[in-house]
Amino acid sequence: MHAKDMEARHLLQVYGQLAIEPDAGDGVYLLDGDRRILDLYGGHAVAALGYGHPELLDVLQSQAGRLFFQSNAVAMQVRARAADALAEFAPRNLERVFFVNSGAEANENALRLACRLTGRQHIAAIEHGFHGRTAAAGAATWGASRWYGFPRKPFDVDFIPRDNVAAVGDLVSGDTAAVIVELVQGVAGAVDLDTDFVQAIAAACEAHGALLIVDEVQSGIGRCGQAFAADIYGVQPDMITAAKSLGAGFPCGAVLTTADVASATGKGDLGTTFGGGPLACALIEKVIEVIRRDDLMKNVRELHARLAAALPLGPVERLQGIGFLAGLRCTRPAAEVQRELLEQDILTGSSADPAVIRLLPPLTLGTEHIDQLLEILAALPAN
């Protein structure tokens, strides 16, 4: 019996699913029966070090054997080390960390902090941005009315049209608690925002005392070829949220804040049972260590450049996005091209843009894998 049919027995049928049923992974490949599928989707930007990475398995096993779980009611060296590693990896002004369990939870807490610290009730977000499915994160997500479900939003939201500098001046004011922005919009199709636009947002936040929250749930932890996309845009956020690649598959998230934001928080202001648990923290520390030691951010930059140099090709007219948060803009429906690639054992991601396929591969990808993609694309019809 197919897993899909078994799942349908009891699981809510809320996901459109791909036409594969992997039950193992090996490096950058997913294994489905006899098929070895090159994974350029990375479990939605999560599998930063691929599958079966020996050091991740080792650290997971040894931490599990030593102490499987303890909550934030006790201090733990492994949690302190993970926070040290993350703060050191982050832009210099972000030196404080709050660990959570997911991207939406990280954004929920960042938005809560912004409203509390400023005492304001307005959030500005960007058209086509995605921030997660919880009450506050969903409220700041473009187009969420299809699934939002709650009777009202926790704050007023203004959506700034993408790359519209003039609109920043109109929509960010002394009433704005925070602007939340994905510098490279993932779900939208790996759309990298204009630097002028991002800098205008940062300047407006500064001028009006609004906090700048950069959602790096998808773009962060090396995926854009730097530790965080904020490093590329030259802005200094008040908070960065991270998840996905942070645990390379172990569920976790984090809010990174400035000392100023941190100093306005006190005991009881935030909380979570599982966030900052020892397994997640052991993995966070190791993921950052491996990304730095193996120069994986350089690998990302070089392979992005290799891909860019080979396009246009077959049904792909152009590359967008940064590093391994990349979009292939197609000359025909992306779903068609995605299906044809999968028939040839290359897994890619879809996006909200019907013309764009997303590439979110492990940072450990090699030149040979990019070349494999290029060879197959070259043989696909443009129209």
Ligand X SMILES: Cc1ncc(COP(=O)(O)O)c(C=O)c1O
DSSP string over 37-77 = EEESSHHHHT-TT-BS-HHHHHHHHHHHHH-S---TTS--H
* Contact (Cβ atoms closer than 8 angstroms) between residue 239 and residue 214: yes
Range list of β-strands (E), 243-345:
253-257, 316-322, 325-330
Total residues at interface with ligand X (CB under 6 A):
14
Using CB under 6 A as the binding rule, whether residue 130 contacts ligand X is answered as: yes
The amino acid present at 143, given as its one-letter code, is: G
Using CB under 6 A as the binding rule, whether residue 237 contacts ligand X is answered as: no
Using CB under 6 A as the binding rule, whether residue 132 contacts ligand X is answered as: yes
The amino acid present at 171, given as its one-letter code, is: L
Considering only 56-64, 129-137, 153-161, 321-329, which stretch makes contact with ligand X by CB under 6 A? Answer: 129-137
Give least dist CB 369 to ligand X, A. Answer: 23
Binding track over 13-32 against ligand X, x by CB under 6 A:
--------------------
> Which residue is closest to ligand X by CB?
103
**Binding test (CB under 6 A) with ligand X, winner from 176, 218, 258, 338:** 218
Give least dist CB 148 to ligand X, A. Answer: 14
* Contact (Cβ atoms closer than 8 angstroms) between residue 325 and residue 362: no
CA R_g for the chain: 21
Nearer to ligand X, 128 or 131 (CB): 131
Nearer to ligand X, 225 or 314 (CB): 225
202 φ/ψ angles, rounded to the nearest 5 degrees: -60, -40
CA angle 49, 50, 51 (to 5 degrees): 120
Using CB under 6 A as the binding rule, whether residue 326 contacts ligand X is answered as: no
Residues 6+ apart with CB under 8 A from 324: 42, 223, 224, 225, 300, 303, 304, 359, 360, 361, 363, 365
Nearer to ligand X, 228 or 315 (CB): 228
Query: At 303, which helix (H) or strand (E)?
Result: helix 296-310
Tokens of 147: 């699934």
Using CB under 6 A as the binding rule, whether residue 186 contacts ligand X is answered as: yes
Using CB under 6 A as the binding rule, whether residue 102 contacts ligand X is answered as: yes
Considering only 17-25, 145-153, 179-187, 225-233, which stretch makes contact with ligand X by CB under 6 A? Answer: 179-187
Using CB under 6 A as the binding rule, whether residue 226 contacts ligand X is answered as: no
* Contact (Cβ atoms closer than 8 angstroms) between residue 322 and residue 192: yes
**Binding test (CB under 6 A) with ligand X, winner from 163, 192, 215, 238:** 215
**Residues contributing to the site for ligand X (CB under 6 A):** 102-104, 107, 130-132, 182, 186-187, 215, 217-218, 243
